[in-house]
Amino acid sequence: MIQPERIQVLNSRKLNKGRYVLYWMQQSQRSEYNHALEYAIDNANELSVPVVVYFGLTDSYPDANERHYEFMLEGLREIKDALSERGIQLVVQHCSPEEGVPGMARNASLIVADRGYLKHQVLWRDIVAQKVECPVVQVESDLIVPVEAASPKEEFTAGTFRPKINKQLSHYLKPLKERFPKKDSLNLQFGSFELLTDKLDIDKSVSPVNWIKGGTSEAKRRLDVFIEQKLGYFDDLRNDPSKDLVSHLSPYLHFGQVSSLYIALIVGACDSSGKEAFLEELIVRRELCMNFIHYNQSYDSFDSLPMWAKKTLLGHMQDHREYLYSPEELENANTHDEYWNAAQKEMVLRGKMHGYMRMYWGKKILEWSADPREAYRTACMLNNKYSLDGRDPASYTGVAWCFGKHDRAWKEREIFGKVRYMNNRGLERKFDIAQYVKKVSAKNF
């Protein structure tokens, strides 16, 4: 059963007598554990028509470059084959989706869309819902608990959000049954686009990485490895950057190549001491990020911060800073701090940064910038440009946390005011941070 809270009708058009039900895939880029896809199949079977899946591949996705596109295309190639085995055709068009969907809609009885939370994703769905002459139904498949069901407002901290979402988990933590269409769409004629980055007019200044590959099967393999080799240590050692005890699932979650519900059900069934800590990160912390993005339209700027954080940071703008670095110096890891440089290099080289180091990284950008608003822009720019899991609600929230979001006021100090402070001595006290620097320098990922 697909919970009705996941389903939102985006316009008031009447059902068309079309040739197919169109599932517009954009955020949930997978063929399994996808509520939007299964909802489309249910409706197609009721109407005795096939399902066609559409993906609009735009050259101008905000802040995306070849690194991001290659990872995404690896997943789309796998989706195409997996859908075909279920009698469903994937149509990829080389255009922005809000431009391509209306053309596909002319022969559609109904459009089913998955849900994205970033401003351009919301705008795309609004534009399509206005343009087309058939119903557009949005189905939440990116979250375990739909964002409005979890909370009707922006939450202050994980502490205020946790009890609200936890009391609803029993309703939503349910396996999703896979459906099969009664009619296949494989013989319908559509133009096809070859899923290669050299066919795209995109930013190629940031190269793909080779240590991680996109796609649902690879996400599931990494989940299996994590459960077998790392989950038992996760509670105690996940924050240690000198060790590799994290799941590396965030890029797959960002592109929707794996379902957070699927992960939660698999991990929840494990007998491991680390599962509660992992599920806290996956459910409470990740879905708090969606809460922030959904209810705060300034999520990508300094203006998103709580008033106390903005006031204290702006009030300390004139404080003396021992070091000041330009965005270019930061991008090139040209600072005096070898720990920070290692974190930046890890992100540039690997497309991913250890989560604890990302906190330290963001705090130091704030400390080494003349204006906290400039620091916020720089942190977002660098994270979006190099991280495979950048341009995501979780990464925007991670940047905001470094500036006081979802945190409390601390003892006042220079530059940071009442925002939490981090320093290199904390890294040295808690971890073998020299080993982390050595790993990055040797590119031993």
Question: Among residues 342, 330, 331, which one has the least CA distance to residue 434?
Answer: 342
Which residues does 154 contact at the CB level (< 8 Å), separation at least 6? 291, 292, 295, 296
Question: 302-441: what fold?
Answer: DNA Cyclobutane Dipyrimidine Photolyase, subunit A; domain 3 (1.10.579)
Give per-residue pLDDT as tens, 225-265: 999 999 999 999 999 999 999 999 999 999 999 999 999 99
Residue among 356, 147, 151 at smallest CA distance from 241: 356
Per-residue model confidence (pLDDT) at position 1: 78
Chain centroid to Cα 414, Å, comes to 34
Phi, then psi, of 13 in degrees rounded to 5: -70, 155
Low-confidence ranges of the chain (pLDDT < 50): none
Closest CA to 125 of 287, 133, 117: 117
Is CATH 3.40.50.620 correct for 4-142?
yes
359-408: pLDDT as tens digits: 999 999 999 999 999 999 999 999 999 999 999 999 999 999 999 999 99
Annotated domain spans of the chain = 4-142, 143-177+215-295, 302-441
Architecture of the domain spanning 143-177+215-295: Alpha Horseshoe (1.25)
Residue 445 has a pLDDT of 66
pTM of the model: 0.97
